[in-house]
Amino acid sequence: MDDKILSECTFVVVDVETTGLNPVEDRITEIAMMKVKDSILQDEFSTLINPLVSIPASITSLTGIDNLMVADAPTAREVAPVIADFLGDAVFVAHNASFDWGFVSETAMRERSIELFNQQLCTVKLSRRILPHLISKSLGPVTAALNITIPERHRASGDAYATALVLVKFLSFLQRKHDIHMLTELLRFQNGWSPAPSK
Summarize pLDDT for 97-119 with one digit per residue, the tens: 999 999 999 999 999 999 999 99
Mean pLDDT of 128-153: 95
Query: Residue 164 sits in a domain of what CATH number?
Result: 3.30.420.10
Q: Identify the burial level of 115 via C-beta atoms within 10 angstroms of its C-beta, where 0-12 means exposed, 13-18 middle and 19 or more buried.
A: exposed
With H, G, I as helix, E, B as strand and everything else as coil, classify residue 16: strand
In a domain, 198, yes or no: no
Is residue 43, in this structure, part of any structural domain at all?
A: yes
- Where is 189: in which H helix or E strand? helix 183-190
pLDDT value of residue 2: 73
- Structural domain harbouring 79: 6-190
Looking at residue 65, its amino acid is I
Q: Is residue 195 part of a domain?
A: no
pLDDT by residue (tens digit) across 66-98? 999 999 999 999 999 999 999 999 999 999 999
119 within domain boundaries: yes
Residue 196 located in a structural domain? no
> Average pLDDT for residues 144-159, to the nearest whole number?
92
Q: What is the DSSP string of 98-166?
A: HHHHHHHHHHHHHHH-PPP---EEEHHHHHHHH-TT-S--SHHHHHHHTT---SSTTSHHHHHHHHHHH
Q: Other C-beta atoms within 10 Å of 109: how many?
A: 13
Give the sign of the dihedral formed by CA 78, CA 81, CA 85, CA 91.
positive
Quick check: is 1 in a domain? no
Is residue 199 predicted with pLDDT exceeding 70?
no
pLDDT at 142: 98
Q: Work out how many domains the chain is built from and give that number.
A: 1
In a domain, 151, yes or no: yes
Report if residue 153 sits inside a domain: yes
Predicted local distance difference test score (pLDDT) of residue 1: 55
Verdict on whether the full-model pTM lies above 0.85: yes
196 falls in which pLDDT band (50, 70, 90)? confident
Question: How does pLDDT run across 14-71, given as a tens digit for each residue?
Answer: 999 999 999 999 999 999 999 999 999 999 999 999 999 999 999 999 999 999 999 9
Give the pLDDT confidence score for residue 198 in this predicted structure: 58
Sign of the alpha-carbon torsion through 54, 59, 60, 61: positive
Q: Is residue 152 over pLDDT 80?
A: yes
